Amino acid sequence: MKYGHEDKRRIYGEHLTSIQVFEKYILPEIKDKLYSYLWADLFCGEGNLILPILNLVPPEKRESFFLKHIILFDIQQEMVERAAKNACDYGIPEDIARQRIMIRDTIKDYPTFILNGEFPVFHITNPPYLYKGYIAKQKSKRLLEYFSGDFEPYQDLYQLAMMNDLKHGIKNMIYIIPSNFLFGSAISNKIREDFLKFYTIKKAYIFERKIFERTGTNVCICFFERKPEPKRETLTFEGIKINSEEKRKIYVLEPKNHFRAGSEFDEFVSKYKSNTPLKCSFYLTMDEVEKNKGTNPVSVIDVSVFDGKEYEKKMLYVNDKLYEKIKSNILFVRTLDTGRQEGRAGLYVIKDVYGVDGILVSKEKYRTHPIHLFFSPPIPVDVQLLLKDYFNMVLEYFRTLTDSEFMTTYKYSESEYTRKYLGLSQVKAIIETFPYEKGKLKELAKILEKKNAEELISFIKAIHSKGKLLLL
């Protein structure tokens, strides 16, 4: 079967790096070490992460430098051909270029011979990234075979590339990888636990704008250096976050948090969970409506039917039980930023935003839709309104504190801010910190009126410092 380039890109998890990215963010860090290493890229694509080094080598010395200091591999013959042609454009004879640019599946067949040369290997790469779950969904048996043996616990192709370098003792690497390596939880805990025992992060560029032509995947450039000996210890490094401007920040990765960046949110919701946490559930489904038909009218929007501008409004007729459930739960979750300040992720009153009683999902559940929120046992409407204000203030506090790093970047756009997605587990975790305890709601209401987030967080911490609270 023949594949077009777009098909191959999806199949191989290929995202080609521009020369400009290399020249701006990577070359300044290595330009004084050019003659000290064998510069390798095991997933070279067009060669843009290594070949531009040749611009710093005098033309008459490039062929010798190329033979001694550069080696490239790619799984696709097409990419090998492109990289060889690009090497020729730098003045390398074609026969020499083909000696050092080779076709090879370096995940399955690591080129160990490069470890025995005159110079130590410095690996600079933009490896393939394809999430294991996506591969399984596409039923790609060939790609799933990578995740076997020692690689079975990992979740993405880029993680296999990193563990291969670890296994073969590579001391210095620069990887362009998804930012979920730093900020992801379930998908990334294992790779961070295993990899960062052996490596430290010297520096990182974290992009919240598009740097690849055909993907919105948010990426980072991580500069890794192998530790003298394996050690599970706190890591500290400078990160430069790049959006419409550059922000510098010191990141501290703690072993107790699986070395996850932006963990302040996780620490708060874990440590300050209420002694009487509210219990909630998500979604009003058509299945529930069908099982509770009756004569009571309730108005809803159906988030499964969208005409490009608004959701379809419907009238449902339900029994007393479901009627009471819908009418008494007035809040919905917006998990996804709209891009406008008034439409950020958070809790909102259904009636205020959509003018209806409920939010129905008549087909598949999507976590990016508005989602009706239900409490069991029920809580009064005035408490729900307090919860809404509390939730949104806590959420915005941690968004400011961490630059929203505990949330998932949704999509690059020209919005007022970088759009983020709030997971339902995170929604539940904030709700469970709500101090629904005896004598606390009046004091909480006064603090919320002041709109002082620092005082609110101090209030929650003070409650827990006094030990177990009385129940309502």
The model's pLDDT over 309-325, given as tens digits with 9 standing for 90+, comes to 899 999 999 999 999 99
Quick check: is 275 in a domain? no
Where does residue 169 rank: exposed (0-12), middle (13-18), buried (19+ CB within 10 A)?
exposed
Token duo for residue 268 = 């708060």
pLDDT at 170: 98
Domain housing 429: 280-465
In a shared domain, residues 200 and 298: no
The pLDDT-based confidence of 13 (bands split at 50, 70, 90) is very low
Question: In the predicted model, what is the mean pLDDT of residues 274-294?
Answer: 95
pTM attached to this predicted model: 0.74
Instruction: Confirm if 328 and 372 have CB atoms less than 8 A apart.
Output: no
Q: Which of 262, 292, 309 is the last residue of a domain?
A: 262
pLDDT at 182: 93
Whole-number Cα distances in Å, 141 to 103, 135, 160, 427: 22, 8, 17, 36
Report the Cα 276 to chain-centroid distance in Å. 31
In a shared domain, residues 245 and 341: no
pLDDT at 468: 46
The pLDDT-based confidence of 414 (bands split at 50, 70, 90) is low
Residue 244 has pLDDT above 80, yes or no: no
pLDDT at 413: 52
Residue 412 has pLDDT above 80, yes or no: no
- Which CATH number characterizes residue 244's domain? 3.40.50.150
Peptide bond into 178 cis (omega under 30): no
Quick check: is 329 in a domain? yes
The pLDDT-based confidence of 369 (bands split at 50, 70, 90) is very high
Q: Which residues contact 228 (CB under 8 A, 6 or more apart)?
A: none
pLDDT at 52: 97
**Distance separating alpha carbons of residues 413 and 420, to the nearest angstrom:** 11
pLDDT digits (tens, 9 = 90+) for 418-439: 788 898 999 999 999 999 976 7
In a shared domain, residues 174 and 298: no
Query: What residue type is assigned to position 206 of the chain?
Result: I
The pLDDT-based confidence of 7 (bands split at 50, 70, 90) is very low
Closest CA to 343 of 368, 321, 376, 317: 368
Quick check: is 270 in a domain? no
Closest CA to 429 of 212, 272, 308: 272
Identify the weakest region by mean pLDDT among 106-115, 236-245, 343-352, 444-453: 236-245
Residue 349 has pLDDT above 90, yes or no: yes
For a pLDDT cut of 70, what percent of the chain falls above it?
92
Measured over the CA atoms of residue 471, residue 429, residue 447 and residue 468, the dihedral's sign is positive
Strand partners, 222: 175, 204
For a pLDDT cut of 90, what percent of the chain falls above it?
71
Question: In the predicted model, what is the mean pLDDT of residues 350-372?
Answer: 94
**Distance separating alpha carbons of residues 71 and 167, to the nearest angstrom:** 19
In a shared domain, residues 371 and 446: yes
Query: What residue type is assigned to position 44 of the chain?
Result: C
In a shared domain, residues 288 and 236: no
The pLDDT-based confidence of 131 (bands split at 50, 70, 90) is confident
Quick check: is 325 in a domain? yes
**Distance separating alpha carbons of residues 42 and 74, to the nearest angstrom:** 6
Quick check: is 453 in a domain? yes
Quick check: is 472 in a domain? no
- Given the structure tokens 């490094």, which residue do they identify? 237
The pLDDT-based confidence of 410 (bands split at 50, 70, 90) is low
In a shared domain, residues 127 and 229: yes
In a shared domain, residues 258 and 295: no
Identify the weakest region by mean pLDDT among 217-221, 344-348, 381-385: 217-221
Q: Which of 262, 297, 329 is the last residue of a domain?
A: 262
In a shared domain, residues 217 and 328: no
Quick check: is 269 in a domain? no
In a shared domain, residues 257 and 285: no
Number of domains in the chain: 2
**Distance separating alpha carbons of residues 238 and 247, to the nearest angstrom:** 10
User: Average pLDDT over the chain, rounded to whole?
Assistant: 90
pLDDT digits (tens, 9 = 90+) for 151-173: 999 999 999 999 999 999 999 99
Q: Which of 204, 233, 262 is the last residue of a domain?
A: 262
pLDDT at 11: 45
The pLDDT-based confidence of 338 (bands split at 50, 70, 90) is confident
Measured over the CA atoms of residue 103, residue 106, residue 107 and residue 111, the dihedral's sign is positive
pLDDT digits (tens, 9 = 90+) for 65-104: 999 999 999 999 999 999 999 999 999 999 999 999 999 9
Quick check: is 268 in a domain? no
In a shared domain, residues 129 and 63: yes
pLDDT at 234: 96
Residue 389 has pLDDT above 80, yes or no: yes
In a shared domain, residues 327 and 397: yes
Question: In the predicted model, what is the mean pLDDT of residues 144-156?
Answer: 92
In a shared domain, residues 175 and 229: yes
The pLDDT-based confidence of 12 (bands split at 50, 70, 90) is very low
pLDDT digits (tens, 9 = 90+) for 189-233: 999 999 999 999 999 999 877 676 555 568 899 999 999 999 999
Question: In the predicted model, what is the mean pLDDT of residues 39-62?
Answer: 97
Token duo for residue 113 = 């011979």
